[in-house]
Chains A and B, each alone.
Chain A
Amino acid sequence: MSDLNTRMIEKYRNDFLKEVEANVEEGEWVKMCMQCGVCSGSCPLGKHWAHPPQEIFMMIRAGKREEVLTSDSMWMCTSCYNCIVRCPRELPITHIMHGLATYSKKLGLVPKGQPTATFAEIFWNNMMKKGRVNELKLGLSLYFKDGFGQGIKNAMANQKLGMSMMKAKRMSPAEFFGGHGIKDVGGLQKMIKKAQELEEARMKKFD
């Protein structure tokens, strides 16, 4: 086989649909899409997607592995569930989008600096520390995610909101020192680790 052929095969992996079906949550639904486009038209953030859901499904079936997994489209999903409700074939589109995002994260293909992905990571790490989300620290991490200077600016801009939340006891400054958590954090962490191992073992190798 010529080099060009090999390169093209690499570019358009025909087994990408199978890979999605095996490794992406609800991926087995992708083949059910009939390309009516009602999901894309119903998405409130639709115009910000490089590839709307219907196109993503078609790209998966066309084997455009790289383009799909490195795309930031599925990270645009805000879980409003409009697409799921409207889909004439009841595809769990929201879940598939999250599944694709998770899978792309596992493979390390997330576009650099994608804000939703960054937020998800901050949220996860925050929650894993104590078994509860520390909202004060979550907020601060978000403010400072683009550097110290920008962080100060963000904090100043939202100063009033922060003060009101503290007054209303929606946020406590004491959370800065340690913060509340669950009884057995170590147990939780072990449990999650085990679950991740199981998931890892179940994942089929395609690359």
Chain B
Amino acid sequence: MTEVVATNQTILVVGGGISGMTAALEAAEAGAQVVLVEKRPYLGGRTSQLYKYFPKLCHPTCGLEINQRRAKMNPNLTILTSAEVTGLEGEPGNYTATVKITPTYVNDNCTACGECAKAVEAEFDDEYNYGLSKRKGAYLPHVMAHPMKYVLDPRIIGTDDAQKAKDACKYDAIDLDMEEREINFPVGAVVWATGWQPYDAAKIQPYGYDRFENVISSVEFERMADPKGPTGGKIVRPSDGKEAKNVAFIQCAGSRDRNHLWHCSRICCMASLKQTHYVVDAYGDDAQVSIYYIDIRAIDRFEDFYARVKAMDNVKFIKSKVASITLNKENGNPVLNGVDTEGYHRYANEHDLVVLAIGMQPSVGMDEFPVEVSLNREGFIEPSEENGGVFPAGCAADALDVNRAVQSATGAALKAIQVVNRVAGAEG
């Protein structure tokens, strides 16, 4: 297990998604000592769960690979995975961080050969695929996991499966006696990059996400489109596995709604426009895409992306917030009900599959922060003097796309470097 050597000139980065990785690497490459703490057993966060990026429709695995290589090369960077910051006390230039490290029961001997997974029988919902598929109780979180190590699900510890996994390992990489431990170390400044989570779609009661199998969320659809995902990249209906050629996207599912999330989540319009490509790429002329929207917010320089999707013959834009979804019991089709704003026509449209362009909310709940920070109404961290030496980055600061999250992270890294440089200056 990695030992942490840290001083009050060390920068702590909380969260190892795209923002945390960026902040940690930028700071480490600028010469600062950095400890990166990630809750999951691997780096990359939600970006690693994307199939393609907008606007270039390239694969996040590419950027992830570059970042992981930068991380491996850099001696200034210590990475703690399966670890959570549970406490942070002190002041800028002089904090003490408490980190809880959860056992994965696998040590650094692991070669990712996969024999343990073959031996284990128990299966659990695969978090990486948002529960759309199962994984073994011993598993590699995803094909590009960093660190490239298998993980034992704590639920198999104490069962026969745990012993089977241990017996199958030729490298003595499985240590069933591993225990949770808590460590303390000094840090000078903190970059808080805990990211986002999808809003709970079931809370949007009229859309029946929890009642209708063929109503899914955009993050699930993203996994479905991925050839490494639960359906091998096939866009199909969860209810019967039939090809989903007629797909509807519902925008602002949770966002811009005082009953749910007050803010605009910014990414969802572009995400649906991107996902429209997935459907059209899969089914060509047979594809039928309908996008139900209040207004399309193709943020940044992406208006041309919107214009190109709009020009497609098989894509319809319907200016209306869908009022409710009902079910055609005969064929399992969700039926979207509402009134459009361009002519006030009442509609009841059937689709094979409905994707809710789900909103973004901060991963860390308002009252879950282990440290005093200034939060806005939506739970994002506001830039404020009160935050001391804690600088928010990426989606902990606001609803951002990858591009802007990376910019935000670089900015946060710079601020953190200034704090530790002041400490260095004072101490000579």
Contact = CB atoms under 8 A, between A and B. Distances in A.
Nearest to A53: B339
A47 B322 CA distance: 15
Contact of B339 (A34, A54, A86, A90): A54
B259 to A, nearest CB: 7
Interface string B315-343: 00001111110000000000001111100
A83 to B, nearest CB: 9
B257 interface: yes
Q: Which of B258, B319, B340, B344 has the most CB of A within 10 A?
A: B344
Given A35-B341, A40-B339, A46 B259 contact: no
Interface in A2-51: 34-38, 40-42, 46-47, 51
A89 interface: yes
Given A41-B338, A46-B339, A54-B339, A88 B321 contact: yes
B259 A86 contact: yes
15 contacts: A36-B252, A37-B340, A37-B341, A38-B338, A41-B322, A41-B323, A41-B339, A46-B339, A54-B339, A86-B206, A88-B256, A88-B257, A88-B321, A90-B258, A90-B259
Contacts of A55: 344
B37 to A, nearest CB: 37
B337 A41 contact: yes
Given A42-B206, A46-B346, A47-B346, A36 B320 contact: yes
B258 A52 contact: no
Contacts of B282: none
Given A52-B344, A88-B252, A37 B321 contact: yes
Interface residues of A, number: 19
Interface in B322-373: 322-324, 337-341, 344, 346
A54 B340 CA distance: 10
Interface string A45-86: 011000110110000000000000000000000000000011
A42 B324 contact: yes
Given A41-B339, A88-B252, A88-B256, A36 B294 contact: yes
B323 A37 contact: yes
Contacts of B337: 41
A38 to B, nearest CB: 4
Given A42-B206, A46-B346, A54-B341, A37 B258 contact: no
B275 to A, nearest CB: 21
Contacts of B322: 38, 41
A42 B256 CA distance: 18
A52 B338 CA distance: 11
A69 to B, nearest CB: 19
Nearest to B344: A55
Interface string B248-259: 000010001111
Contacts of A54: 339, 341, 344
A40 B338 contact: yes
A52 B341 CA distance: 10
A38 B323 contact: yes
Contact of B321 (A38, A46, A52, A90): A38
Interface in B181-221: 206
A40 B258 contact: no
B320 A41 contact: yes
Contact of A86 (B252, B323, B340): B323
B344 A51 contact: yes
Given A37-B320, A38-B321, A52 B339 contact: yes
Contacts of A89: 258
B344 A34 contact: no
B344 A36 contact: no
Contacts of B324: 41-42
Given A37-B339, A54-B344, A42 B323 contact: yes
Nearest to B346: A47
Which of A41, A42, A89 gathers most chain B CB within 10 Å? A41
Given A41-B322, A42-B206, 8 more contacts: A41-B321, A41-B339, A41-B346, A52-B339, A54-B339, A85-B259, A88-B256, A88-B258
Interface in B145-199: none
Contacts of B323: 37-38, 40-42, 86
Residue in A37, A40, A46, A54 whose Cβ sees the most chain B Cβ within 10 Å: A37
Contact of B338 (A37, A85, A88): A37
A128 to B, nearest CB: 38
A15 B426 CA distance: 66
Interface in A68-121: 85-86, 88-90
B319 to A, nearest CB: 8
B359 to A, nearest CB: 11
